[in-house]
Amino acid sequence: MIKYRYTIEYKEDFNEVIVDLGIDSSLKNGYLISNSLGSDIFGDFATIQEEIGNLIELFKGEITLYEGGGNVNLIKSDKSFTTFEDIFAEEDEEDSTCEIETLEYVKILLLWAKENFQYKNQRGVILKEEAELALEWINKKYTEICEVESQ
């Protein structure tokens, strides 16, 4: 379960899902995370696998820093926290960064990916078999993350 409040929007014109974290006032500039999903982290299965795989390597201590993004935000993750930095913000702008626990960020990624594959399957954008394969992998990774969280 994700500790931050969010809403999910379905954009029929683009066959995509938006996880809106901007509604949670305890997460400063949560909209930056929402903006990254789909623009910095693409919704295709290979990209999601790579992104989540790298973040899981952080938890296992196999790497100490993971950097990504670049279309909208720069994203830097270590084992504890992930920081989103708006690349279009002015240098002294107050609303240019968001920091979230890396574990919570992974949960958000998994939620977003699951919702995307289910939605795209319902809309006929991807084959049922492709969606089932992705959802099986996502569920397995969610279980892995829950194990990390309980340690």
CA 17, CA 115: separation in Å to the nearest integer? 7
* pLDDT of 74 over the 70 cut: yes
Q: Judge whether 86 and 96 are in contact, CB under 8 Å.
A: yes
For the segment 21-33, what is each residue's pLDDT rounded down to a tens digit? 988 989 999 999 9
CA distances from 145 to 108, 125, 149 (A): 11, 28, 6
* pLDDT of 149 over the 90 cut: no
Average pLDDT for 45-50: 94
CA 28, CA 2: separation in Å to the nearest integer? 16
The count of other CB atoms within 10 Å of the CB of residue 58 is 21
Q: Give the pLDDT of residue 32.
A: 93
pLDDT averaged over the chain? 92
The structure's pTM equals 0.93
* pLDDT of 92 over the 70 cut: no
Task: Give the position of tokens 């002015």.
Answer: 90
